[in-house]
Structure 1
Amino acid sequence: MRFPIYRARRLREHDVLRQMVQETRLAPQDFIYPLFVTPGRGVREEISSMPGNYHLSVDLVEEEVREVADLGIPAVLLFGLPEGKDAVGSEAYSPSGVIQQASQVIKKAAPSLMVVTDVCLCEYTDHGHCGVIEGDRIVNDLTLDLLCRTALSHVEAGADMVAPSDMMDGRVGAIRETLDAKGHVNVPIMAYAAKYASSFYGPFREAADSTPQFGDRRSYQMNPANAREALREVRLDIEEGADIVMVKPALAYLDVICQVRQMTDLPVAAYNVSGEFAMIKAAARMGWLDEMPAMLEALIGIKRAGADIILTYSAKEVIPHL
């Protein structure tokens, strides 16, 4: 196969042929679109660090999800901003909480759309951490009960799938047991299985108002230097009953996505997080990048690494360009 017998450029010469031999493709069905739901009425406030993404009150979520469904996006991931916060994040599992309300509205407005809910306490606690605190420690086992109550309340309000993102040990098994005991045996769990203590979450913390009021999250989110540990975390979540396993963030962890894809035949999700999204947006605004080709290249890279599902804030924008 030496030159000139084989010329690799033959398959790149014509646009039609380039498309025919393309190995990795994106489709609307690959995406989950995150939404930030807030109290009040008539609220549609753009998140400054995440252009094109908004804080939406429950009454305006209905219009948004119809647009999402019309684009062919199969699912949304809901994050909630509560009316008030306390030490144990009680609004996370309140039957009248903003996520519970939004889930009911979405299931009526767009019945075909899958409602996935983020199960965590950080948006709801006054200290901004993902669990119960004692002194300056996040207490794992006391947190599990609150996460189970949150997941159950979401499902009872109409959520189709729950996605625990807190990184407490044992939470997937505890949630599975709780849902099964209440008869929700067919509700899947998408576990944030390998979630890193990343520098790329900054814009999200503005969007979700979830910045820790003390310390950081390194005692429960993963060290960015570790890949073998990620595989242990994924195995544990699979053993506990996860139906889909997620790697978060995506672009700086393509190697981890690839290794997770190789180790399991479960569906693999990857979260194209707020900082990854915002970097491209900011560079494009400065004229340093051509925005849409850069967005598509990033998403193709995530899928090529092995992700079956991509959670991304750019889903609505990129679909017309697929």
Structure 2
Amino acid sequence: MVDLTYRPRRLRTTPAMRALVQETTLQVEDMIYPLFVVPGTGVKEEIPSLPGQYHLSVDEAVKMAKEAHELGILGVEIFGIPTYKDEQGSSAWDMEQPVQQAIAAIRKEVPELIVVGDVCLCQYTSSGHCGMIDHHEILNDETLPLLGKVAVSQAKAGAQMVAPSDMMDGHIAYLRQSLDEAGFNNVSIMSYASKYASAYYGPFRDAVHSAPEFGDRKSYQMDPANRLESLRMIERDICEGADIIMIKPALSYLDIVREARDNFDYPLAVYNVSGEYAMVKAAAAQGLVDEKRIVLETLLSMKRAGAKIIITYHALDVARWLR
């Protein structure tokens, strides 16, 4: 029976009253900020497909990391463009490349900041795919040792966390073993446990020059139509040693986020991906939306769905707005 005396508007009368009963909160500490590092020095070039985001040389990436830390952001995730590409993607574990150099420099200059290394090969292979290739087939098991090298190189540079986004089967177990054998027992793994083959990645691929040379990534990234498969993927990665699980993209997959929160008692992250960011920026530039309101509402929805950690290009702006 409906309680006709219940008047929910009583608790919406003033900002203070609404804050008193607010169920979900968005905090600066929830966010990780992605950085795109490139060769050179003194480089800070806006990425056309990601307005407000930049290609940064290592020295400029350190400055941006310091700014993020001063705003209260707890971590940055490092992506990069190498000086060379080859069939194996060997620049991905080259200690002289921008990613490893940026990790080391940020750890030295901003030691309190968590530095996350992205473990994948797509930015480093001549094919633009995330693994070794044989006649246009992406090879799973042959790719694992290469990913192990990437993770260990990033840990050597100083990363406290690695985030494998390649979606090869068995990669979490292989990375955990590789890190442990190299003496990096305390380096954690944030698994892209449910990374969907999404159309929302376009601006990112433009930013890091990682569009595949042929075909697509549907043979290793998840089908957007599948829900139950996501739960199996998450369970597998937890069993293999993942410390944090991630859903990517975030906004169109909040049902998956909610199911993950309800089924697994593990730290849960989402990636507010490049396409989601670019759409907001484009709409705001046209005066169609209030950028601040729509960004805060969007990220709040991710928290409400169950995420604790949000990787987002909006992080610096949100940190300022929340002050």
Residue type matched to 1:257 in 2? V
User: Alpha-carbon deviation of 1:262?
Assistant: 1.1
Matches within 5 A, 1:232-247: 232-247=232-247
User: Alpha-carbon deviation of 1:321?
Assistant: 2.0
CA distance in structure 2 between the aligned counterparts of 1:48 and 1:287, rounded to whole angstroms? 19
Matches within 5 A, 1:109-148: 109-148=109-148
Deviations 1:242-284 (A, max 9, x none): 0000000000000000111111111000000000011111011
User: Alpha-carbon deviation of 1:120?
Assistant: 0.1
Two-structure CA RMSD over aligned residues (Å): 0.9
* Residue 156 (structure 1) aligned with residue 156 (structure 2): yes
CA distance in structure 1 between the aligned counterparts of 2:101 and 2:49, rounded to whole angstroms? 26
CA distance in structure 2 between the aligned counterparts of 1:158 and 1:2, rounded to whole angstroms? 58
Q: Secondary structure at the match of 1:141?
A: coil
Residue type matched to 1:112 in 2? E
Residue type matched to 1:82 in 2? P
Q: Secondary structure at the match of 2:84?
A: coil
User: Are the counterparts in 1 of residues 160 and 186 from structure 2 also a CA contact under 8 Å?
Assistant: no
Q: Secondary structure at the match of 1:302?
A: helix
Deviations 1:180-210 (A, max 9, x none): 1111111110000000000100110111110
Residue type matched to 1:77 in 2? E
User: Alpha-carbon deviation of 1:320?
Assistant: 2.2
User: Alpha-carbon deviation of 1:3?
Assistant: 6.4
User: Are the counterparts in 1 of residues 204 and 274 from structure 2 also a CA contact under 8 Å?
Assistant: yes
CA distance in structure 1 between the aligned counterparts of 2:230 and 2:259, rounded to whole angstroms? 9
CA distance in structure 1 between the aligned counterparts of 2:286 and 2:268, rounded to whole angstroms? 34
Matches within 5 A, 1:283-322: 283-322=283-322
CA distance in structure 2 between the aligned counterparts of 1:21 and 1:38, rounded to whole angstroms? 46
CA distance in structure 2 between the aligned counterparts of 1:3 and 1:292, rounded to whole angstroms? 37
C-alpha spacing 1:170/1:10, structure 2 compared with 1 (3 Å): same
Residue-pair matches, total: 322
Matches within 5 A, 1:1-322: 2=2, 4-322=4-322
CA distance in structure 2 between the aligned counterparts of 1:43 and 1:216, rounded to whole angstroms? 31
User: Alpha-carbon deviation of 1:2?
Assistant: 4.5
CA distance in structure 1 between the aligned counterparts of 2:42 and 2:213, rounded to whole angstroms? 30
Deviations 1:53-81 (A, max 9, x none): 10000121121111000000000000010
CA distance in structure 2 between the aligned counterparts of 1:320 and 1:86, rounded to whole angstroms? 41
Give the TM-score of the pair, scaled to structure 1. Answer: 0.98
CA distance in structure 2 between the aligned counterparts of 1:107 and 1:318, rounded to whole angstroms? 24
User: Alpha-carbon deviation of 1:4?
Assistant: 4.9
Residue type matched to 1:243 in 2? D
CA distance in structure 2 between the aligned counterparts of 1:261 and 1:14, rounded to whole angstroms? 32
Deviations 1:24-55 (A, max 9, x none): 11111100000000001111011112111100
Residue type matched to 1:231 in 2? L
Give the TM-score of the pair, scaled to structure 2. Answer: 0.98
**Percent identity of paired positions between Structure 1 and Structure 2:** 55
Residue type matched to 1:292 in 2? K
CA distance in structure 2 between the aligned counterparts of 1:243 and 1:180, rounded to whole angstroms? 14
Q: Structure 2: which 5+ residue stretches go unaligned?
A: none
Residue type matched to 1:244 in 2? I
Deviations 1:198-232 (A, max 9, x none): 01001101111100010000000000000100111
Residue type matched to 1:79 in 2? F
CA distance in structure 2 between the aligned counterparts of 1:212 and 1:202, rounded to whole angstroms? 11
Q: Secondary structure at the match of 2:191?
A: strand
CA distance in structure 1 between the aligned counterparts of 2:15 and 2:3, rounded to whole angstroms? 23
